Amino acid sequence: MIIQGKGFVESESGSDMPRCRFGTPANYVIVEADILSYTRMACRTPEGVAATKPVSWPADVPFSLALVSDSFEPWTQTSHKFRFYQQPAITRIEPEKVTVGLIS
């Protein structure tokens, strides 16, 4: 996921790593962010954010950022959501067999 804004700078000490939070305060996953430029940063979307299966797919979860401080507070307060889709499952392949190459 690419986040666009302004003022993304890497900490000189390296201790203030920006992070992204996917989910609600009661059920969330936090991942580190990579500063790409002054206006862009990236977060790798985590697997298994929705620990409980949603009633329907796709599932929208709240998304927020923490840019500095040891405790990564405060998290941004926005209405932004990240949409997760159910992973596809293969139930059938047709034809079941294929012949590859020449048969002698």
For 1-13, how does the pLDDT look when each residue is reduced to its tens digit (9 = 90+)?
A: 898 988 888 766 6
Q: List, in order of start, the domains of the chain with CATH numbers.
A: 2-84 (2.60.40)
Q: Where are the alpha helices (DSSP H) in 1-104?
A: none
CA distance 92 to 104: 30
- On the 0-12 / 13-18 / 19+ scale of CB atoms within 10 A, 41 is buried
**DSSP class of 25:** T
Question: What's the distance, CA 24 to chain centroid?
Answer: 14
CA distance 73 to 64: 11
Residue 51: its pLDDT value, please? 47
Indicate whether 70 pLDDT > 70: no
